[in-house]
Structure 1
Amino acid sequence: MSNKIKAINGAKWTTVSTIFSAVLQFGQVALLARLLLPSAFGIVSISTLIINFLSIFAHFGFSNSIISKQVTNQKILSTIYYLNLLIGVVMFALMYLSAPLLVLYYKEPLLDGVLKMAAFSFPIVFLGQIYNILLEKELKFKWLALTDIFCSITGSLVTIIMAFNGYQAKSLVGGLLSAQFLKMIIHNVLGRQYFTPIIYFKLDEIKDHLVFGMYNMGENLVGFVNDNIDNILIGGFLGVKQLGYYTIAWQIAVFPTTRLCPVIIQISYPIIAKMKDSLESLKQAYLKITVFIAYCIIPLLTGLFLMASNVIPILYGEGWGDTVPLVKIFSVMGILFCFMYTTSPVAYLTGKPNYLLYRNLVVLAIKIPVIYFAARTYGLTGIALAFLATSVVSLVLNFVLVQKMLGSFFASLIKDLIKPALFSVAMVVVILLYKYFIGNAGIINTVVQIALGGLVYAGLTLKYKLSFAEIKNLRKAL
């Protein structure tokens, strides 16, 4: 089977998994918003923050390195495997032992138990990480997708059962751990055909991978502060309840971007890694992937911006109405974010991961004082607007870096983005006309508006973007 067919099949299965997970998560959050206090979401947001921070030092960029270098050597893989296990144990100990200090900063006693419970995610994840990487490298996206679906269902069931039994924040962590444990077991079973650990551990033989990962780790560390300075400051200054509102708004609005874009990159990275010796082929791949992401994300978040005041009370209840302004701000931010995801694989494949570090350092130097001032002065909405403003700066820097790595591309990108932008405007006009002439209140009007907007965008895309011949060929490929 050719790489192109594998990519198409991978896209099919991963899309199914992504859509399923998105629907499942939205449904889960809608239910949990009625069972859990806002502070529970804030507490779990802090534990996730700490896990993500420690994971920066844990991963060493092995995923990108193994795929980029197409590693099959069992000795190298064994050394990476045992190093991963060691790092997982160290990260577990760091998170578990630092819990009391974090309780002092956030002034939330309930955080202690949640953090200690969440720390177990490190040894669980690192027992299966290398198999997940190898399955991606071999383009086994069907099995990865089916595993994600099965584990997501299991995790959601555990979360809901625990929530109904009054576990509050621990119910979210319990669901996460159960899904991670099950996924680790399945990845171990599926991945053994590509790698079985042998008793071998020599760090000097993975020197190239460690060096490759150093810039990646530095970029991720600075990127982490860039992406999470708002959560860090909100939790410390405004409390876990306000952080809970902020977290829910972020999950609603930015979720399509943060969920869909990494999946698209995950599918495409092993394919475009084989093009890294041809700069022109790499540029064309970058443009195609970026435009594809734009076609998916722009209508979703434009529609959410327009429909937020209708959708939020229906899905999450009247108590979450304060998140509507945040959702609108984050919808715009999500559109900006979707153009940044394709920069990282280009940097890795052109041997310029240091560019990502430099970009994040510049953005961070701007973002910290701006968001700190907003947190002290204007509350949640001010922080969200400050984050949006600095995201514009980050987007500009991303395009500058891509220009340096791939050469002139911006005119082609703008030309390709005219259609999805115009299609989204047409969608907005139809929804606004419906609101004005027919009505806006109630579930029925909301559903009709969403359906009309979706039909307009899909119809215009099918007429002016995809030919019937392309659709026919795609159906044959699938």
Structure 2
Amino acid sequence: MSNTQKAMNGGKWITISTVISTLFQFSQVAVLARILDPSDFGLVSISNLIISFFQIFSNLGFSNSIIYKQETDRKILSTLYFLNLIAGFIIFVAIHISTPAIIAFYHEPKLEQVLNLSSYYFLITYFGQLYMFLLEKELRFKSVARIDITGTVIGSVVTVILAYNNYRELSLIIGSLVMQTVKTVLQIAFGLSLFRPVWSFNTANIKDHIRFGLFNMGDGLLGFIQFNSDNIFIGGMLGVKMLGYYTIAYQLAIFPITKLNPIILQVAYPILAKMKDNTADLKKSYLKILDFISYCNLPLLAGLFITADGVVPLIYGPGWEKTIDLIYIFVFVGIFTCLSHPLFTLVFTKGKPSLLFYLNLGTLIIKIPLVYLFGTYWGVTGIAMAFLVATFLNMIANFAIAHSLIGNFVEDFISDIVKPVAFSLLMVAVIYTYKVIVGNSGLANTLIEIGLGGSTYALLTLLYKISFAEIKMYRQVL
């Protein structure tokens, strides 16, 4: 099977997984938004923030190095496995120790139970995580998809049941732990044929992984601070309720990115790692990834921008209107972010994770003062605008790094992106015309707007981008 066929087959399974998982997660949020208070989402957002921070250190940056080096040595993998388990336990303890300081910063006593319960994530996830890396390295995306679907479905069901039984913010935490427990058990079950640990713990044998991982981990730390500095400031300056509005708006706006981009990048990186010495092929692949991401994300983000005033009440119910203005800003954050994502495939394929470290360091130096300044004068809207400016500058630097790795690609990229941008603008114009002539209130109008937008973009794509014959060919390959 060729790399193209492997990519398409892997993409098929990850797509199936993403669609099913997305439906359950989206339904979960829509249900919970009608049961829980914005402050409950704010509490969970802080918990997720802390968990995400400690996740940076938990796998010590080894996930990408295993794929980059195509590691198969059983003793080395065993050392990495046990080192991850030790790191997980240390982080579990660290969260308990740091909880009082976190509570003091946010002035929210409810955080104690939320954080202490969340910390068990690190006693669960790292028993199976290395097996997931190996499954991806071997391009076994069917197994990866089955694991993700099963865990998400069970976790979502548990979360909703607990929320209806008045567990409030704890329903989200417990549901997440149940989901991760299911995934860990299945990761071990599916991956055991690829790796069985032996009693080996020799850090001298993993020096290359450590060097690779340190920059990877440093990049993760800076990236975390960069992408979450706004949440940190909002929680501390404006309170957990405002953080809840901000979180819901951000999650809805970047929903396409978090669900669609991993389908492409999760499959692309292991394949690109196998052609790391062929710069010409890497350039072609990078441009194809950018092209596909543009066609998938731009219409969804543009559609959300023009329909946000109807979509928000439809999904979340009354009381969430404050998120609409934030969504308008986050749509553009989403556009710049999705175009920046593919760089990691080039950087790790070339074995230069330090470039991402320096990129995030520069962005962080710019973003934190902007967040503080804009937040002080314009509150939560100002913080969202600071995020937008920093994300745009990050994308420009991102393209400069890609240019240094694969040569000039900007002309080809601009030529490719003209169509999805034009199609998206025409789609917005059609929806806007309908709203002016007919109106935009009510469920029926919102659904018609979504249908009109999707039909317009699909028709333009079939006429000017991809033919029925090509679609038929892709179906035959799959």
Shorter-chain TM-score bucket reads over 0.9
Matched-pair contact (CA < 8 Å) for 2:159–2:171? yes
Give the match for residue 238 of structure 2: 238
| 1:8-407 correspondence runs (5 A) | 8-407=8-407
Superposed displacement of residue 375, structure 1: 2.0
Matched-pair contact (CA < 8 Å) for 1:14–1:141? yes
Q: Note the residue ranges of structure 2 that are not aligned, 5 or more in a row.
A: none
Letter in 2 for 1:230: D
Distance in 2 (CA, whole Å) between partners of 1:121 and 1:260 is 25
Give the match for residue 416 of structure 2: 416
Superposed displacement of residue 467, structure 1: 2.5
Superposed displacement of residue 18, structure 1: 1.1
The one-character-per-residue Cα deviations of 1:431-457 (angstroms, maximum 9, x if unpaired) are: 112112222211111101100110110
Superposed displacement of residue 262, structure 1: 2.5
**Secondary structure, aligned partner of 1:335:** helix
Superposed displacement of residue 263, structure 1: 2.9
Distance in 1 (CA, whole Å) between partners of 2:61 and 2:340 is 19
Give % identity: 50
Matched-pair contact (CA < 8 Å) for 1:65–1:209? yes
The one-character-per-residue Cα deviations of 1:308-357 (angstroms, maximum 9, x if unpaired) are: 00110121112001100011111111011001111112111223221111
The one-character-per-residue Cα deviations of 1:405-435 (angstroms, maximum 9, x if unpaired) are: 1110000000000111111111111111211
Give the match for residue 432 of structure 2: 432
Letter in 2 for 1:388: L
Letter in 2 for 1:374: F
The one-character-per-residue Cα deviations of 1:263-303 (angstroms, maximum 9, x if unpaired) are: 31111111111111011111111010011011000000000
**Secondary structure, aligned partner of 1:473:** helix
Superposed displacement of residue 244, structure 1: 0.6
- TM-score, with structure 2 as normaliser: 0.98
**Secondary structure, aligned partner of 1:321:** coil
Matched-pair contact (CA < 8 Å) for 1:298–1:424? yes
Matched-pair contact (CA < 8 Å) for 1:309–1:324? yes
Superposed displacement of residue 398, structure 1: 0.5
Letter in 1 for 2:25: Q
Matched-pair contact (CA < 8 Å) for 1:106–1:235? yes
Matched-pair contact (CA < 8 Å) for 2:51–2:119? yes
Matched-pair contact (CA < 8 Å) for 2:268–2:345? no
Superposed displacement of residue 17, structure 1: 1.3
Q: Note the residue ranges of structure 1 that are not aligned, 5 or more in a row.
A: none
Superposed displacement of residue 37, structure 1: 1.1
Matched-pair contact (CA < 8 Å) for 1:262–1:341? no
Distance in 2 (CA, whole Å) between partners of 1:394 and 1:275 is 27
After the TM superposition, which of the residue ranges 461-470 and 211-220 deviates more from structure 2?
A: 461-470
**Secondary structure, aligned partner of 1:415:** helix
Superposed displacement of residue 24, structure 1: 1.7
Matched-pair contact (CA < 8 Å) for 2:434–2:449? yes
**Secondary structure, aligned partner of 1:319:** coil
Distance in 1 (CA, whole Å) between partners of 2:281 and 2:7 is 16
**Secondary structure, aligned partner of 1:351:** coil
Distance in 2 (CA, whole Å) between partners of 1:185 and 1:124 is 9
Give the match for residue 4 of structure 1: 4
Matched-pair contact (CA < 8 Å) for 2:128–2:184? yes
Count of aligned pairs between the two proteins: 478
Superposed displacement of residue 201, structure 1: 0.9
After the TM superposition, which of the residue ranges 192-201 and 461-470 deviates more from structure 2?
A: 461-470
What do you get for the CA RMSD once the two structures are aligned? 1.0
**Secondary structure, aligned partner of 2:322:** helix
Matched-pair contact (CA < 8 Å) for 2:289–2:342? yes
**Secondary structure, aligned partner of 2:128:** helix
Letter in 2 for 1:260: L
Superposed displacement of residue 362, structure 1: 1.2
Matched-pair contact (CA < 8 Å) for 1:249–1:324? yes
Matched-pair contact (CA < 8 Å) for 2:375–2:381? no
Letter in 1 for 2:450: I
Distance in 2 (CA, whole Å) between partners of 1:229 and 1:330 is 15
Distance in 2 (CA, whole Å) between partners of 1:73 and 1:259 is 33
Letter in 1 for 2:203: L
Matched-pair contact (CA < 8 Å) for 2:269–2:349? no
Distance in 1 (CA, whole Å) between partners of 2:192 and 2:19 is 28
Distance in 2 (CA, whole Å) between partners of 1:264 and 1:115 is 33
